[in-house]
Structure 1
Amino acid sequence: MNISEDIVTKVFSEIDFEEILDYLIQEIKAKNYLITRVSNIDNIHDRPILKSSSSLKFKYYKIVEFCNLESCSQLISSNLLAGVFMPVRFIVYQPLGKKQIFISFLSPISFARLFNSKEMMSIAKNIENDMYDVLEEIDF
């Protein structure tokens, strides 16, 4: 895998973080995906167990996990190990002191390449197209 090629990032500005997160979730659901979890990592620097002088500074950081049960079933049927890459996810974050909000995802096609399966590649292309569509729908 190549990070610069396999991680897709889109930058948004002139919008509130919670508003863009809500739009993202709505668009994921509109594509017939189920939101399985939204992890809130916003307060990581406030936790007493973190004792490092991390250079990671962010105001907001969410991980939005989602799946389509039919696609999941097809992927697992093509290779039982495919489940290690599920559910797919977007990360939504805003660096501290920045107005821009970033949404990123790891390309499902890059996962499928690991398995060298035409069936898996076909499903991954559909999922990736949906993910690009979601990003386009929230771009205004």
Structure 2
Amino acid sequence: MNISEDIVTKVFSEIDFEEMLDYLIQEIKAKNYLITRVSNIDNIHDRDVLKSPSSIKFKYYKIVEFCNLESCSRLISSDLLAGVFMPVKFIIYQPLDKNNIFISFLSPISFARLFNSKEMMSIAKIIENDMYDVLEEIDF
């Protein structure tokens, strides 16, 4: 895998982080995906004692995991080890010293290539297209 090719990132400006997170979740759901978890990594800022607060480079950082049970089941059924990449996820974050918000994801096609499966590749293409569509829909 190549980070510069396999991780997709889109940058947004002039919007509140929580508002952007809400738009992201709404668009994921609109594509018929189930939100399985939102990990609030930025809760580290709420800790009373941070060992090294200067080492934290983000103001906000969320991991939004989601899946469509049908496509997820088909993907995993094509190779049971594919579950290590499921559910798929977006990360949404705002660096500490920036106003821009970044949304990134690992290309499902890039991990499907590891398995050399036509079935997996066809499902990964659908998922990846949906992920691009989500990013396009929230770009206003």
Q: TM-score, normalised by structure 2?
A: 0.94
Aligned-residue offset at 1:43: 2.8
**Alpha-carbon distance in 2 for matches of 1:34, 1:98:** 31
Aligned-residue offset at 1:55: 3.8
In the alignment, what sits opposite 2:110?
110
Q: Deviations over 1:43-82 (max 9, x none)?
A: 3255467535764411100000000000011011111111
Aligned-residue offset at 1:138: 0.1
Structure 1 residue matching 2:5: 3-state secondary structure: helix
Structure 1 residue matching 2:82: 3-state secondary structure: helix
**Alpha-carbon distance in 1 for matches of 2:45, 2:73:** 38
Give the stretch that moved more between structures: 43-52 or 102-111: 43-52
Is 1:87 aligned with 2:87? yes
**Alpha-carbon distance in 2 for matches of 1:111, 1:102:** 22
Q: Deviations over 1:70-104 (max 9, x none)?
A: 00110111111111110000000000121100000
In the alignment, what sits opposite 2:55?
55
Q: What are the ranges of 5 or more consecutive residues in structure 1 without an aligned counterpart? A: none
In the alignment, what sits opposite 1:96?
96
**Alpha-carbon distance in 1 for matches of 2:35, 2:73:** 16
Aligned-residue offset at 1:20: 0.5
Q: What are the ranges of 5 or more consecutive residues in structure 2 without an aligned counterpart? A: none
**Alpha-carbon distance in 1 for matches of 2:98, 2:27:** 25
Structure 1 residue matching 2:35: 3-state secondary structure: strand
Identity of matched residues, %: 91
In the alignment, what sits opposite 1:126?
126
Q: TM-score, normalised by structure 1?
A: 0.94
Structure 2 residue matching 1:59: 3-state secondary structure: strand
* RMSD over aligned Cα atoms: 1.5
Q: Deviations over 1:98-122 (max 9, x none)?
A: 1100000000001100000011000
Structure 1 residue matching 2:56: 3-state secondary structure: coil
